[in-house]
Structure 1
Amino acid sequence: MIYLERPPAPAFLLADNNKWLLEIEQAKTHYANGIVDSFKFNHYSDSLVKDELKKVFPKCAYCESSYGAVFDGDVEHFRPKGQVNEKSPKAPGYYWLANDWDNLFLACQHCNQRRRHLLDGANKPESLGKLDQFPLKSERYRLKAPTGNFAREEEARLLLNPCKDDPKVHLAYEPEEAVVVALTVMGAESVKVFALQRPLLVQERKKRLYEVSLQLKRVKRALERMNRHPTDPTDKDEFEEEFAVLLGYTDTNASYAGMCRFFIRKFLKDNNLLPQKIIE
């Protein structure tokens, strides 16, 4: 997971009397009348909304897997719209945020939905994935209505929001198997809820780690040659070419950039290269 800067809401979501705002007003009326059945939302996954989200999330917002070639991505509600697993009673959820730009992400099905996964060392498959989970430090801070104290709930939030939090503060990576290592309580809860240790995902991260490791060796060799012959333009050019390839793994749109940045930052520091902020 990496930090992603979310642009302001598109104009069509802010226009007066647009269908997204009208739908929220209908949901508010629905629940104000004491109806317990979940309100049916239809517009959050509208193609206009999804096209804007694709610009922000070209890969899964949580696990960073690329899905463009085979799947369009799920429009995911960070705060669940229908019901909340940790809340009692579970419904209603954060219905007033169902069409809120800041509450919408694009995620892969494995992070967003509940799927069966057999974790390493486990004897039986486990149901993993976010779905309607939204854990807090304490349920007493849970918002029950649009008029609640949002700032207070934000302080109690246990899931990382990649558009508000800096994931590198909360997540590290094991250098052999590419397993995520939680550094904080928020990191641990996010790894669990988003199923970031599911086996096939770990396998894909490990493949990318292998690629990065090979490129780190190429950069290291090119750096050593350049240091031996500091006036040789050929060695300098070779180093710059290899280094540019390495930085490509840290690109915002690259799969598993968070993990790649973690190991490349360490490499830069160990070799007194460019300031680490280049891949923050």
Structure 2
Amino acid sequence: MLEKLLTEQRNDKTMQLDNMSVIEILQTMNAEDQTVAQNVAKCLSSIEEATYKVVNSLQRNGRLIYVGAGTSGRLGILDAVECVPTFSTSPSMVQGLIAGGMKAFTEAVEGAEDSETQGQFDLREISVSSKDTVIGIAASGRTPYVIGALKYANSVGANCVSISCNKGSEISRYAKVAIEVETGQEVLTGSTRLKAGTAQKLVLNMISTASMIKLGKVYQNLMVDVKATNLKLIERSKHIIMQATNVDYSTAENTLQNANHNVKAAIIMILLTCSYDEARQRLKDSQGFIRGAI
């Protein structure tokens, strides 16, 4: 029953929310938000296990697929689309599905989350397979659309992970790894875009970032697989090369040009004083890891 979920219950600290001053509202929200990271910390072992499953999928040319409704679906899409410029992933490598389709990203599609069948259909449409990892996201842990998707993902042998904000969530029953971040009662009763949404965003950040690091898309703490699609990212690419190799701006700029805007190759060319072709071969031999290449 919905009223039994902790995320749907009233918060004793905010019973007079409508009578608070603006600064009191902000202070209360800030204090409640500070508990989110602490609750995420309690789930690190499950998040680690989920990350290994994602890495395994991506190493086998599988995909990471987020599935959710409402806020949860939007957070999955946000994390997926950010992987493209940050890590130069293909749009298909990390995907986000939301109940009601992409239209639901900007406007509510009534009733879309209530269909298990639609969740199954949407995964079937993208030919989910045993190579993929499917992460179902639902603050309540009971969204039919997500349950349907996880049921179908299980039927084809995909790795199934769930992220919810209530203990003993229903979606956990359909996941090999269940991440249950118990964020408690919201400041505004039932508004899970607040603490629950923040917790989901933190977990998704961890899973995707740690996975990409383990795929060789990071050197030291630098995003060396950045996709330079605008002026800001082109400049960032140059500064990444400067930071990784201690060369000046002009050298970084010229080497980036000679490396066909491949930041990894440019770094190796500088560190090993080698050609672009040799740098690319070294990257190939090291499965894309700069440390291995040098």
Specify if TM > 0.5.
no
- Scaled by the length of structure 2, the TM-score of the pair is 0.23
Tell me which protein shows more helix as a share of its residues: 2
